[in-house]
Amino acid sequence: MDDTESIDATRYALAKQSTAIGDIQTSYGLLMLTETEAVEVRAFVSQLLAQRLERLESASN
């Protein structure tokens, strides 16, 4: 995946996927979260993706 594709994929993940996190599928099965836990996981993943996007955009300039 080139830089542009990585940036686009990260933007999509930040806008759509991270906001839809509920239960988490692992290789050992489904990890069921409470609504409070899901909110915290969504916030954490959104923060990680925002940091990734910042790094990718800085590196591509």
∠ CA 31-11-23, rounded to 5°: 10
User: What pLDDT is recorded for position 61?
Assistant: 80
Taking only the tens of pLDDT, the chain with its 61 residues reads: 788 999 999 999 999 999 999 999 999 999 999 999 999 999 999 999 999 999 999 998 8
Q: Which residue type is seen at 34?
A: T
User: What pLDDT is recorded for position 2?
Assistant: 85
With a CB cutoff of 8 Å and minimum separation 6, the contacts of 11 are: 53
Rounded CA-CA distance 8/45 in Å is: 17
